[in-house]
Amino acid sequence: MQIQETPSREGAAPAPLPSALGSGPSRGTQGGGGEFGNIFIGIAGMIGAGKSTLAAALGQHLGIDTYYEPVADNEYLADFYTDTARYSFAMQVYLLNRRFQQHQEIIWRGRSAVQDRTIYEDSIFAKMLASTGLMDERDYRTYQQLFRNMSNFMCKPSVIVFLDVSPAASAERIRARSRDVESQIKLDYLHALHAGYEEFAASISKVIPVIRIDYERFATAEEMAEVIKREYMDASFMRQATRFDPAR
C-alpha cells in the first residue's frame, strides 16, 4: 500500500498529479469528516478534469483519507494506449479489480474518505470501447456480469462530486500534464467520453446523490467543501435506489 501526502489546494491552473498514485489512502484523522460525520466522497469526471488534485486538497482540508486512481503502477496502461482493441478488456478488468479493492477498503476501515474516480465510472469507458468496436461484445458482456456480481458487495458512496468540463478543456489539461501514454488521446474520443459522462450523471443520480460542478475553472478545497456541505446536508437532495446498473 502506498501512502501519499496531499498538496494544500487547487491553483488557478492544473497542479501536478501526486507523485505516487496508488491504491492506499493518504494520511487522515481517525474518523475524519468533521461536521459531515462519516462521509465517503467520490470524485468523478473526464480525463484531466482535476479529480486527483481536488481529492488531495479535500482530503487535507477535511482531514480525511484520500484514495488515488491507480496510474503509476498500472502495467496495462502503455499497452492499452498502443493497441487499445487488444488490451481493452484486460485494462478494464484490471481497473475494476483495483477500484473494487479501494472501494471495499474504504468501507472496511470505517473512516471518512475521498476517492479519485469511482468504480462506477469504469462502466462509461467499457461501454464506449464496446460501442466503438474496440472491445469484443463477448468481453463486454463478461465485464457487465462481473460488475453486477461485484456490486452486490459494494456499499454506495455518500455523495459523488461530478467535475463537469468540456472535451476541449479536458484535452488542454491532458496536454498540460504531459503524460506520454496520453499523447495519443484524440478530441473525438473525449467528445464520446463526455457524452458517456452525461448519461452516467443522469443515471447514477437516481442511486447516489450527485453534486454537479461546472469545473471549467478550478475551485479551492475550501469552496468545494462548502458546496458539498450545502448540497449534501440538504435532506431533499438524497435519493433512494438500490443499485447502479452499468448495462442501462
Scanning the structure block, which residue is given the C-alpha cell 465517503? 40
Q: Which of 73, 79, 116, 136 is catalytic?
A: 116
Per-residue cell: 248: 442501462
Please confirm, yes or no, whether 214 is among the known catalytic residues. Answer: no
* Distance (Å, whole) CA 248 – CA 246: 6
Q: Count CB-CB contacts under 10 A for residue 235.
A: 6
DSSP per-residue codes, 182-222: GTT--HHHHHHHHHHHHHHHHHHTTTS-EEEEE-SS---HH
CA distances from 227 to 40, 53, 210 (A): 15, 17, 12
- The DSSP letter of residue 55 is H
Per-residue cell: 204: 447514477
Catalytic residues: 116
